[in-house]
């Protein structure tokens, strides 16, 4: 990870080493420039502009560079196309998990210039999340949303490694009806993440219900996807599957590349609109003077589900098809 201060510190060290190097011949003006060099804001701005650098959020951490990954990805694509040919043009599915937080606010806000302390607002549930398993087909269709909420662990020390009641219950009648009709699947785990049990007990029947006999399911290398237990179940149920090359999610996985980002952007938009519309409601927020912070009521699980269903409804077939190219070429 490279920060602006890293670049300035490195530049200061280089300037000092050049001044101290007897083998480097400097003109008086150059020597003066190196002596006075301080790594100012003006210099770093010009440096970033010269090399087209800007601060970016880290989207992935990879221990291998692209040249190391290239043969693995090419081998994966060769295997993928071989399976597609062997299965005589099957319907291809891709499944991936993504995380939705109950609080989708940014770390920045609008405030008056010059103000020293900038107050923020939070629901107090910025770490609470729900996992969304997104499964799409290569003809542009989304399978029904599959969500996993976090269950509270019992206080007693002896309990199962999974909740006694794994299905998530909702107070909203319309959502319960959607669950009954299997337009939505909602479960609970103690971590809030997908696991081998969820895959074997619930995902497999869900996938088999929606896939044709001639199919191919592409998954990443998450532990719940590659364990011997789940691959044995896949083989037993005659699910044809393929795991893509390690560390290649940003290239080989259409859900991650194109579809999950579009769905999450829609949900974030719904959240921000809800926040603006609810702000004037009585009791929606309180202000803590000591912490100089607003606290508002977090969205409910029912509201999160409504946003997920709406995002699925508004995700176009073309958005899904835009990711299809990553199956076949590199």
The predicted-structure confidence for 221-267, as pLDDT tens digits, reads as follows 888 898 899 999 999 999 999 988 877 776 777 787 778 888 998 99
Cα diameter, the chain? 82
The total number of structural domains in the chain stands at 2
Distance of CA 87 to the CA centre of its chain: 31
How many CA within 13 A on the CB side of residue 82? 7
Q: What is the DSSP letter of 169?
A: P
In a domain, 323, yes or no: yes
CA distance linking residue 142 with residue 120, whole number of Å: 37
Q: What is the CATH number of the domain that holds 102?
A: 3.30.420.10
Instruction: Tell me which residue range forms the domain holding 280.
Output: 66-106+119-145+191-328
pTM of the model: 0.74
83 and 17 assigned to the same domain: no
Q: What is the mean pLDDT of residues 134-150?
A: 92
Is 179 a member of any domain? no
Which single residue is written with the structure tokens 């939505």?
A: 184
SS3 100: strand
Residue whose C-alpha is closest to residue 18's, from 37, 34, 40, 38: 34
Mean pLDDT along residues 287-292: 73
Residue 121's nearest CA partner among 104, 133, 143, 101 is 104
Q: For residue 58, tell me if it sits in a domain.
A: no
């Amino acid at each position: 990870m490279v920060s602006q201060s890293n670049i300035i510190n490195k530049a200061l060290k280089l300037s000092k080493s050049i001044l101290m190097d007897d083998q480097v011949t400097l003109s008086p003006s150059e020597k003066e420039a190196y002596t006075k060099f301080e790594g100012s804001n003006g210099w770093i701005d010009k440096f970033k502009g010269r090399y087209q650098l800007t601060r970016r959020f880290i989207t992935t951490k990879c221990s291998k560079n692209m040249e190391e990954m290239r043969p693995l990805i090419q081998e994966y694509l060769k295997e993928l196309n071989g399976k597609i040919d062997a299965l005589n043009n099957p319907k291809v599915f891709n499944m991936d998990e993504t995380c939705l937080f109950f609080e989708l606010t940014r770390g920045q806000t609008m405030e008056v210039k010059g103000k020293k302390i900038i107050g923020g607002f939070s629901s107090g549930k910025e770490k609470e999340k729900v996992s969304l398993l997104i499964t799409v087909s290569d003809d542009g269709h989304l399978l029904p949303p599959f969500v996993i909420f976090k269950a509270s662990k019992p206080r007693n020390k002896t309990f199962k490694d999974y909740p006694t009641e794994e299905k998530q219950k909702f107070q909203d009648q319309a959502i319960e009806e959607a669950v009954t009709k299997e337009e939505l699947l909602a479960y609970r785990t103690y971590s809030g993440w997908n696991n081998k049990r969820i895959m074997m007990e619930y995902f497999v029947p869900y996938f088999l219900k929606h896939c044709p006999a001639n199919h191919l399911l592409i998954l990443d290398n998450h532990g719940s996807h590659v364990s011997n237990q789940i691959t044995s179940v896949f083989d037993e149920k005659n699910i044809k599957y393929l795991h893509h090359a390690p560390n290649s999610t940003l290239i080989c996985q259409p859900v991650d590349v194109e579809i999950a980002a579009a769905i999450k952007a829609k949900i974030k938009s719904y959240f921000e609109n809800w926040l603006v519309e609810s702000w004037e409601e009585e009791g929606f927020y309180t202000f803590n003077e000591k912490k100089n912070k607003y606290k508002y009521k977090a969205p409910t699980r029912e509201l999160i589900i409504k946003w997920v269903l709406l995002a699925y409804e508004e995700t176009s077939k073309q958005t899904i098809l835009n990711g299809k190219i990553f199956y076949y070429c590199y």
